[in-house]
Amino acid sequence: MGAAALLPAAAPLAACGGDGDGANSGESTLTFVYYGDAQLQKSYTTLFKQFSDENPHIKLRAQGIPGDSWAGFANAVATRIAGGQPLDVVQIATEGQRIFASKGLLEPLDPYVKKDQAAVDDYFKDVPEALKKWTDHYAASDGKTYYIPGSYNTVAMHVNTDLFTKAGLEIPTDEWSWDDLRSAAEVIKKKTGAYIMPAGNSYFAEVMPWLLTNGASPIDADWKTATFDAPAAIEAAEFVRSLVVDGLAPKPGGTFDAATLMRQGKLACMAGGRWLANGLRTVKFVDPVTLVRFPQKTQTGTPLGWDAWPILKQSKNKDAAWTLIKFFMSKKFGDALVQNGTAAVPARASVATSAAFLEDAPKNTELLSSILDESTPIPGPDRGAETQAAIEEAWLAAVSGTKAPATALGEANAKLEQLL
């Protein structure tokens, strides 16, 4: 769970093949790298069929790289580039965008944007303004355009309405608080024996929402200063720890199939984004689930993560690479994502609010896009993989009781300062 689920489904073209660059035949061989494993590749082999049909002169090699996090994926791609592997287009999420731009690995897209201004304008007319603003702000500091933003994820609370009804409780509203959640947890535990929600340590879905709804963050808005030891952050960790101590949330660690536990009536809530819909479909428990905002202490809040597409500076097929990115911007690509069970919210608002996207999904799924304006980009500084590891390890120590929350977050804050 977490930022890894931003992945818009991607896979190799059925028409891929050939080792050369096609210089003598008028063909180009294009390598696109994305975050995913062999199973995902197999599942979405038809996603790019229309691109293949429309661009038979481009032989696209789409390669999935598995990993534990987006930051780890970014490191793996950087290693491939350093090793001389030719790459043209890479799918990069928030956690890796800045480091690629800062290391001079990307080709500025401004000339391509200018050349196809009408197509780009059509795309951004249908994309939340915040996505472009945040991409420009966080991904580069020299005023140039290196990325076209794509799908995104926010975090909402997924509520098991059957369990709340069984416990004699009203379904939570968007205005519910931490105290409301604890009160509901106590009633649900007493009347049904179920847990209120997991107490995990996923940076995106299980750490950031608690921090943001108490006005905290592990790193400041400029991604320059560690703030993980702030009183509000410690208070958030202490609150989650109290849920575990009082038996209202399961002890963290081990495997935890939240969707299955929901269906079994053992779990009342789980936090996450669009990716949770796929798990609920698998266990056939979509209809009893509704989305509400994450409960708040001092303010509403959700983390935001999004993927984006750059052209690598080393690419020998930059025009073909831009053709692929234009395809990614098209509505037909967004529609294809939905048809193939995307685990993220498509960038185009017309697709994200379409009947196809909202059907066979939890009630109020439109909340995932409507809360975009109150979201905070998940911090992704240059050494993103190491910062994420430090944050998750400290949170796990705090909520599991291995260390006092103040100690765990204080020690992690010192690590973050060094990494930053």
The reply to whether 132 and 92 lie within a common domain is yes
The reply to whether 119 and 204 lie within a common domain is no
The reply to whether 147 and 166 lie within a common domain is no
The reply to whether 334 and 265 lie within a common domain is no
Report yes or no on 367 lying in a domain: no
- Structural domain count, the chain: 2
The reply to whether 358 and 382 lie within a common domain is no
The reply to whether 147 and 56 lie within a common domain is yes
Domain that holds residue 206: 156-303+376-419
Measured CA to CA, the distance from residue 277 to residue 285 in angstroms comes to 9
Residue 12 amino acid letter? P
Spell 337-369 as b/e; 16+ CB within 10 A means b. Answer: bbebebbbbbbbbebbebeebeeebbbbbebbb
Per the listing, tokens 């796990």 go with 396
The reply to whether 287 and 199 lie within a common domain is yes
Report the pLDDT value the prediction gives residue 39, as an integer from 0 to 100. Answer: 61
Contact 217, 211 (CB under 8 A): yes
Residues 6 or more apart whose Cβ sits within 8 Å of residue 395:
201, 206, 207, 237, 408, 409
The reply to whether 316 and 268 lie within a common domain is no
Report the pLDDT value the prediction gives residue 26, as an integer from 0 to 100. Answer: 63
Report yes or no on 83 lying in a domain: yes
Cβ neighbour number for residue 16 with a 10 Å cutoff: 17
The reply to whether 139 and 279 lie within a common domain is no
Report yes or no on 368 lying in a domain: no
Report the pLDDT value the prediction gives residue 40, as an integer from 0 to 100. Answer: 61
Report the pLDDT value the prediction gives residue 380, as an integer from 0 to 100. Answer: 87
**DSSP state, 37?**
-
User: Is residue 182 packed enough to be buried (19+ CB in 10 Å), middle (13-18) or exposed (0-12)?
Assistant: middle
Report yes or no on 330 lying in a domain: yes
* Model confidence pLDDT, tens digit, residues 312-364: 999 999 999 999 999 999 999 999 889 888 889 999 999 999 999 999 999 99
The reply to whether 8 and 78 lie within a common domain is yes
At 213 the three-state DSSP class reads: coil
Task: Give per-10-residue mean pLDDT for the chain (420 aa).
Answer: 38 34 62 76 68 90 80 81 89 84 89 96 95 86 89 97 97 96 98 96 96 98 96 98 98 86 97 96 97 98 95 94 96 89 93 95 97 93 89 97 98 97
Q: Which of 198, 212, 152 is nearest to 349 (CA)?
A: 152
Report the pLDDT value the prediction gives residue 1, as an integer from 0 to 100. Answer: 34
Report yes or no on 370 lying in a domain: no
**What ranges make up the beta strands (E) of 368-414?**
375-377
The reply to whether 386 and 249 lie within a common domain is yes
The reply to whether 33 and 142 lie within a common domain is yes
Contact 88, 315 (CB under 8 A): yes
Q: What is the CATH number of the domain that holds 218?
A: 3.40.190.10
